[in-house]
Copies of this chain bind each other. A is one copy, B any other.
């Protein structure tokens, strides 16, 4: 605030009008940019605003408008870098379009999720991008969202929900990375991590199964291990897998976080990952590059998914008649060291 201005804690359009010697309607005209105002009048009004430290009151404006320029972004786990990157993509696009993102972290709690969604609707959000918490049901969502708020479900698809969605191609990605291990000669391959109640786990495991079936390789049911999708979960599940009498030669993990836990467990057992055992992940978070050996994984472009989600939601907000659409993003294989492909190439050549 420029010096000399009294810090009146609530400057309104009317005070601006009085000070500039015009009516509040004229001030509103320059604020919204609608109608025609003489340039010098506009200038004078803007200057007065500056002097008095005027702050536009969007709440009051929305009361008439219904056009709120707010969208909500509900994340299930901000501590996972994957979702942080997703959020960055969303934010970039929204910002460009003059929207502002109300962002909240549910930490996988469905009650917090509905609280947060309610809050957003109460604040007049025109749309919500939701990365649903585990155990979110279609009914809950129907209650927590309404006809005036466009809903887009991202990352975790939610069967039975009539909303747009943006998800990576989990089935294809998982099949792709499984085929890679099969090509390297592995036959005893475990699937590790995630809980079977999770839709994403189901999709990824489906891709795994399909690739195995297509290659004519039988899946040992004992090599299908569930665990929470955390590093600790991966660590203990992998420890059990390694204690098996006939342990796997390769492990397809639910995601990078689990894979990193699994790598730690293998190292603890004295195994060299990429030589004695192959471990692969899913997501391609920045950590996948930094662990040693670097993790072979599936890149799903979190930022790109976020951008796409935001764009699709904005489309539905501005064009309310538009139908709900779905987008399935690409999932690409990134070969690094943890699968032993490099080692393998050497052996094959030698």
Bound-state CA distance A88–B106 (Å) is 10
Chain B residues lying within 8 Å of A121, measured Cβ to Cβ, are 55
Provide the residues of chain B in CB contact with A105, threshold 8 Å.
87-88, 91
Contact yes or no, B103 A290, CB < 8 A: no
Q: Give the distance in Å from the alpha carbon of A119 to the alpha carbon of B91 in the complex.
A: 14
Is A276 on the interface with B (CB-CB < 8 A)? no
Other-chain contact of A116, B100, B104, B122 (Cβ < 8 Å): B100
**Chain B minimum-CB-distance residue to A267:** B292
Give chain B nearest CB distance to A233 CB in angstroms. Answer: 15
Which residues of A112-145 have CB atoms within 8 Å of chain B's CB atoms? Answer: 112, 115-116, 119-124, 142-143
Q: A81 interface residue, CB < 8 Å from B? A: yes
Asked if A9 and B55 make an inter-chain contact with CB atoms under 8 angstroms apart, the answer reads: no
- Which of A59-67, A156-164, A204-212 binds B? A59-67
Across-interface contacts of A231 in B (CB, < 8 A): 290
Q: Which residue of B lies closest to A293 (CB)?
A: B292
Q: Smallest CB–CB gap between A55 and chain B, Å?
A: 5
Rounded to whole angstroms, the CA-CA distance of A119 and B107 in the bound complex is 26
B residues in contact with A7, CB < 8 Å: 146-147
The complex places the Cα of A146 from the Cα of B120 at a distance, in Å, of 25
CB contact under 8 A between A100 and B119, given known A62-B59, A291-B291, A292-B292? yes
- With the chains together, A211 CA to B264 CA distance in Å? 35
| Contact pick for A79, options B55, B81, B101, B147, CB 8 Å | B81
Give the CA-CA distance A287 to B290 in the complex, in Å. Answer: 8
Residue contact A100 to B79, C-beta cutoff 8 Å: no
B53 touching A146, Cβ below 8 Å: yes
Point out the residue from B53, B56, B59 that lies within 8 Å of A60, measured CB to CB: B59
Copies of this protein in the complex: 2
In the complex, the answer to whether B59 meets A146 with C-beta atoms within 8 Å is no
**A102's closest neighbor in chain B, by CB?**
B102
Distance, CA A78 to CA B105, complexed state (A): 13
Complex alpha-carbon distance, A124 and B100, angstroms: 13
Q: Tell me the bound Cα distance from A124 to B81 in angstroms.
A: 30
**Complex: how many Å from CA A116 to CA B260?**
36
8 Å CB contacts to B: which residues of A66-92?
Answer: 66, 68, 70, 78-79, 81, 84-85, 87-88, 91
B122 touches A55 (CB 8 A): yes
Q: How far is the CA of A58 from the CA of B60 in the complex (A)?
A: 10
Cα–Cα, bound, A104→B95 (Å): 9
Cβ contacts A294-327/B at 8 Å (1 or 0 each) = 0000000000000000000000000000000000
Q: Contacts of A220 on B, CB cut-off 8 Å?
A: none
11 new A-B contacts, CB < 8 A, other than A55-B146, A59-B63, A95-B112, are A9-B148, A10-B66, A55-B121, A57-B122, A58-B122, A81-B84, A88-B107, A100-B120, A103-B104, A286-B287, A291-B291
List A residues at the B interface (Cβ < 8 Å).
1, 7, 9-10, 53, 55-60, 62-63, 66, 68, 70, 78-79, 81, 84-85, 87-88, 91, 95, 100-105, 107, 112, 115-116, 119-124, 142-143, 146-148, 231, 260, 286-287, 290-292
6 A–B contacts, CB within 8 A, in A order = A9-B148, A53-B147, A59-B59, A63-B63, A79-B85, A91-B104
